[in-house]
Amino acid sequence: MLDDKNPLTIVADWGNANFHAVAGWVAANLRWRIQGPEATGSPYVIKTGSGYRDNIEAVASGAADVAITTPADIILEMAVAGRDFFDGTPYPHLRTLGFIPQDDRLVFAVREDSGIESFADIRDKRPALSIATGSRREHNLMTYAVMEVLRSHGIDPADIEAWGGRWMEHDHPRRALEWAISGEANAVIFEAIMVPQWWAFVETVPVRFLPMEEEALADLNSRLGLRPGILERGRLNAPADVPCLDWSNWAIVVRDDMPDDLARMITSVMVEERAELEARYRHLPYERSPLSYPIDPYTMHKGLGAPLHPGAEQYYRDNGYLS
């Protein structure tokens, strides 16, 4: 039983973004289901995190019971196997309860006045690029992927500074994109393509999206498991489809020792109270919404990078969502 001495601990994001909305939604509905509408006390703790390695390791180590992370497939594949981003430290006891949908991409955009139109231009012209991206620290899967994108295109990340450029780093895409809008940065490599600052960037500044090369995408997929994606024509005003990396869906992560009844109850909240979470986003056009509504119980247990927890699997099966 959850109580003040035995709280459920959830690690989410920095505290002001979507993972905290998900964590609060789960905690509130568990509170009403377990303690009732007149509940007192605080049997839930929501912690801040990056959404990447620290979230995963908090659950794996027992410092948290639940974590939210993205993208739902590759980060958990790496963590369970202990490869690449988690090299040498496998976490085979990680499990999932499903994912909350988000249709996202990792893209490379430059201001047109940079004179760059392709990765080949970067290799050949060796420009001084001021690149806005996430924090290049060991916890950040996105910047790990960014460095590998450059390497797969024949560009050493160290060359950016050697050619007179610089890295401008902030975990929050809203902050990083402000540098590109103001002209302090002339390139951006980031995900979260639905945030208002991405749209402000493409609507106020002439921008080019650099197509990731076919051989580089094949290398990223075969070597690391990173999934290719497409920034579709018209999205962020792209004039044509742009090959990039897929960065979709928020996985709900637990350990295999979570009691089945608790895993089942959290999963039931994710399914049965989904309209409440969707309502926070449905005023936004689909392509500008962080949450890709509707949440579909028939698919939210598929394509995950770790096995379903038995309690979650049984819930989906009992309710006809899993055959």
Please report, as a single letter, which amino acid is at residue 159.
Answer: D
- 70 with 133, same domain: the answer is no
DSSP helix/strand/coil, 82: coil
Q: pLDDT tens string for the chain (323 positions)?
A: 677 778 999 999 999 999 999 999 999 999 988 877 666 677 899 999 999 999 999 999 999 999 999 999 999 999 999 999 999 899 999 999 999 999 999 999 999 999 999 999 999 999 999 999 999 999 999 999 999 999 999 999 999 999 999 999 999 999 999 999 999 999 999 999 999 999 999 999 999 999 999 999 999 999 999 999 999 999 999 999 999 999 999 999 999 999 999 999 999 999 999 999 999 999 999 999 999 999 999 999 999 999 999 999 999 999 999 98
From 246, 262, 295, the end of a domain falls on 246
pLDDT at 1: 65
Geometric angle at alpha carbon 174, from 171 and 176, rounded to 5°: 60
With respect to residue 2, please indicate whether it lies within any of the assigned structural domains: no
By residue range, what is the domain housing residue 111? 105-246
With respect to residue 221, please indicate whether it lies within any of the assigned structural domains: yes
Phi and psi of 111, rounded to 5°?
-70, 140
- 16 with 144, same domain: the answer is no
Reported residue count of the chain is: 323
pTM here is 0.95
From 223, 246, 269, the end of a domain falls on 246
Can you give the CATH number for the domain in which 30 is found?
A: 3.40.190.10
- How many domains, the chain? 2
